[in-house]
Chains A and B, each alone.
Chain A
Amino acid sequence: MSTPDKTPAKSETLSEHGMKRRNFIIAGAAAGGGLLIGFALPKMFEDKGGHSTPANSEKAAREAFSPNAFIRIDKEGLVTLVMSKVEMGQGTFTSITMLIAEELGVDPAQVKLAQAPADEKKYADPLLGGQVTGGSTSIRGAWEPMRKAGAVARTMLVSAACQDWNVDAKECRVENGYVLHSGSEKKIGYGELVEKAATLPVPQEVTLKEAKEFTLIGKPIKRLDSPQKVNGQAVYGIDVRQPNMKIATVAMSPVLGGKVVSVDDSKARNIKGVRKIVKLDDAVAVIADHMWAAKQGLAALDIKWDGGRNETLMMKDIIGQLDQASSDKGRAAPGAVATSEGDFKAAFAKADVKFEAVYQLPFLSHAAIEPMNATVHVQKDRCDVWVGTQVPAMAQAGAVGITKLPPEKVFIHNHHIGGGFGRRLDVDFINQAVAIAKTVDYPVKLMWTREEDMQHGIYRPYYYDRLSAGLDKDGNITAWKHQVTGSSIMSRWIPQFVKNGLDSDAVEVAREPLYAPANIFVEYIRQEPPGMLTGWWRGVGATHNTFMVESFIDELAHKVGKDPLQYRLANMKNSPRAKHVLEVAAKEAGWGQPLSKGSGRGLSVQYAFGTYVAQVAELEVKEDEVHIKRVVCVVDCGMVVNPDHVKAQMEGGINFGISGALWGEITVNNGKVEQSNYDNYRVMRMRESPVIEVHLVQSSEAPGGIGEPGTAAIAPALTNAIFAATGKRIRNLPIKNSLTAA
């Protein structure tokens, strides 16, 4: 079922900023004996004038090599992998270990995992350019370098054994941490070889295994983190305990962006277990012996707030501003052009059929079950931060700013994450914990309550998109326009990658729809919502624009009376892999087979994160409630490292996306977020979880990302199915509002 595709992977999230670099593998002796393998990034070795010196990079790399490498093999043969990625459920602890173990010839279950310290350069993601776990990049970035590193280590260990035995490397093989000689059946453990191996030259070229030789890659290897996650032993950020540690919780301004005017803490100070009240600009914290005392203390505070300019902020203000900014007439400045090919205006003017629609997506909370938290100990000469974060180096930079300590004195101890989904790409809560801990001499664990977590989130932006298409008399798309209006996350988070006002995340998927007519115009209009901080949410730009594009194409199909599957296939250009996933999904889902009244099927297809996904949702609408029966998902993510991980990520990603599509919305009323907990921010529960069937396409293409595609593609499959079931077109999410409103 291999379907080679020459479409370049241009639309990988954030990968288009020219951050790809060549890595140099370096090796050396570990302190206390043993072999270290690491990378040196050429960027580390820029000269004083800022010019990199690639010719000398490897030499420089060797000289500058420090023992924060990522593979260590000690004299007992224990292999330690220093993980630059954090584990938040996506499975990278296991899959990256598999990549190294495949080439190194060790059992992944015997590899010891350690979390990388904060270091923006040493542990940078090759696609993102910083120490970030996000954007479904882990395997795409690790695929080649990690296997190569394993192969370098293996080659050096084999060379060491060959020197001992005075035999040729060709006669040797590796197995389970041993080098074996075929002729004599001699066998020696890696631990006995590391000292000699560390003195050998690093091989310039290593041969990586061919796919047919893989013994781990492509196999459903069990997750390495499962055992400790079923018996309560896994340590998340929130589980950290330090000697003399106290617990803090906070109240932040109910009105977004508001400030503390005054605090009367006389009652709170009398509560048993309360140690200290800390007044910050925008929050008040209570430090206590345990969370219950801290919460009681918080409830006893009398805080006067100044809501500031957001005190009268309503949703209609935010939506009104987006509406105005999105219209050609009302806009203050021209949009940033993402795509402009052919002549949209002329083609649209002479189209036989014209169609326009506006779609809206709400603010969303991540609502990870582990609330935001961090444990911090600030001392005179050092600061320790225990936390689960997607961005350790950013956390370090934040703590440096607050404590004024040098970066090498700020230690980020990363932990398992109890749900990231993009929320832990921000460090607001870590900074707050540092600011609180700075006022005392003991370690403080700051925990947000669910209510503070939901009401002071960093929300997925509200998007307000206009789409227009012109069709010829046969229904073929001749003109396509997509105007994206919303907040620019990149402008806050990585402003250096916003070029000419274009936020490439905001137009991800939209800028290169799978349906590419000759005349296409895509632009981005930045409109920041007052009061709301916006950030990454699982599926990022693809979650936003796959909904827009896949809703619109479905509408066009119905407009001209064509079958949505056939219409997509007919209008798709140059994408055999996309066509293939769509056709397989339709077949597996029984597309076209009759369903009972009130039931329907809906399609979506997507290319994002280097991965093709097609989904067919089958559902029934009864009394304004949507009952999802079944989702068929076909994935072509190129080479599959761990098929069970891909399936798990699709299952979970789809369910995450369903919660958002059916019920998810954060709204403000007089500047206050109205949702506060899982009772009024509804998320999926067991009884709402549909049957999900995941099919993987065999492929020899480079691996694509898997953490986010499932989430990004589900919403339009649902709304398209609702249209098929009821004739009701849903252009605004969440579905619950649109179903009851219409």
Chain B
Amino acid sequence: MITLNVNGKEHALDVTDDTPILWALRDVIGLTGTKFGCGKALCGACTIHLDGQATRSCITPVSLASGKKITTIESIGETEVGKRVQDAWLALDVVQCGYCQSGQIMSASALLAQTPNPSDEDIDNAMSGNICRCGTYPRIKAAIKNAAKA
């Protein structure tokens, strides 16, 4: 048994220590907003916050989350920065298929929490681990800048 704190709620899970947080969230707890894309931290669709740090949940075992706070897309809107990011996404209609956008928003929120006024280079560095096959990058970048100003 391992206990995970997800979005402020404790969950006792009967999974092995090496289980990636992604599958604990999606298949065991039932929070499906965090997406599976590559399984190797190459696409960023599974990005969550672990104590506020953007983390690829597909390669991070639950054992590393013990005693830490997991935040997912389902609750990022409850943070001031997360809400700003979501609003900026809506204002520019960033999404297309939308599948990667949970991860994009989690990476962007972590970036703005640490770097409130990011440069283009900061944005590229923070966001280049998140693939969007619909190619919404121009709008993601613009939305991050708007969210920073908001």
Contacts and interface: CB of A to CB of B under 8 A. Distances in A.
Contacts of B34: 232
B40 interface: yes
B128 A687 contact: yes
A56 interface: no
Contacts of A239: 26, 32
A420 B37 contact: no
Nearest to B141: A686
Interface in A390-421: 416-421
Contacts of A658: 135
A685 B107 CA distance: 14
Interface stretch (A8-16, A338-346, A426-434, A645-653): A645-653
A706 to B, nearest CB: 12
A236 to B, nearest CB: 6
A129 interface: no
A165 interface: no
B36 A226 contact: no
Interface in A281-295: 289-292
B90 interface: yes
Please indicate which of the listed interface residues B26, B90, B98, B123 has the most CB atoms of chain A within 10 Å of its own CB.
Answer: B98
A656 B133 contact: yes
Interface in B12-61: 15-16, 18-20, 23-24, 26-28, 30-40, 42-43, 45
A222 B128 contact: no
Contacts of A417: 97
Contacts of A290: 15, 19, 23-24, 26-28
Given A226-B90, A686-B123, A450 B38 contact: yes
A418 B99 contact: yes
A88 interface: yes
A230 interface: yes
Please indicate which of the listed interface residues A225, A232, A656 has the most CB atoms of chain B within 10 Å of its own CB.
Answer: A232
**A interface, over-half SS:** loop
A449 B58 CA distance: 12
Given A241-B30, A418-B98, A371 B135 contact: no
B135 A686 contact: no
Given A231-B77, A655-B135, A677-B42, A419 B99 contact: yes
Please indicate which of the listed interface residues A89, A233, A272, A654 has the most CB atoms of chain B within 10 Å of its own CB.
Answer: A89
Interface in A203-227: 222-223, 225-227
Nearest to A652: B135
A370 interface: yes
A679 B95 contact: no
Contact of A223 (B35, B93, B100, B141): B93
Given A239-B32, A419-B133, A292 B19 contact: yes
A654 to B, nearest CB: 7
Contact of B130 (A235, A368, A450, A686): A686
Nearest to B96: A89
B23 A234 contact: no
A436 interface: no
Interface residues of A, number: 64
A222 B34 CA distance: 24
Contacts of A232: 31-34, 72-74, 102
Interface string A440-451: 000000010111
A686 to B, nearest CB: 4
B107 to A, nearest CB: 10
A126 interface: no
Given A648-B96, A691-B138, A230 B86 contact: yes
Nearest to B99: A418
Contacts of A289: 27-28
B136 interface: yes
Contacts of A230: 86, 89-90, 94-95, 98, 101, 105
Interface string A660-697: 00000000000000000111000111110101100000
Given A241-B32, A450-B39, A418 B72 contact: no
Contacts of B42: 677-679
A369 interface: yes
Contact of A225 (B74, B89, B95, B137): B95
Interface string A82-94: 0000011111000
B81 interface: no
B124 to A, nearest CB: 4
A416 B128 contact: no
B148 interface: no
Contacts of A370: 35-37, 97, 99
B46 to A, nearest CB: 10
B22 to A, nearest CB: 8
A390 to B, nearest CB: 12
A238 interface: yes
Nearest to B74: A232
Given A420-B97, A450-B40, A653 B32 contact: no
B134 interface: yes
A124 interface: no
Contacts of B131: 369, 678, 683-685
Contact of B74 (A227, A231, A451): A231
B70 interface: no
Nearest to A221: B93
A247 interface: yes
B139 interface: yes
Given A88-B97, A368-B133, A656-B135, 19 more contacts: A89-B98, A225-B95, A226-B89, A229-B98, A230-B90, A231-B73, A231-B86, A233-B74, A247-B27, A291-B23, A368-B97, A369-B131, A370-B36, A417-B97, A418-B97, A447-B36, A654-B135, A683-B131, A686-B141
Nearest 10 A/B pairs, CB to CB = A232-B33, A655-B135, A418-B99, A89-B96, A229-B98, A89-B97, A290-B27, A689-B137, A232-B73, A239-B32
Interface of A: 87-91, 222-223, 225-227, 229-236, 238-239, 241, 247, 272-273, 289-292, 367-371, 416-421, 447, 449-451, 644, 648, 651-656, 658-659, 677-679, 683-687, 689, 691-692
13 contacts: A88-B97, A90-B96, A231-B77, A290-B23, A368-B99, A419-B134, A450-B40, A648-B136, A651-B135, A656-B135, A677-B39, A678-B43, A683-B131
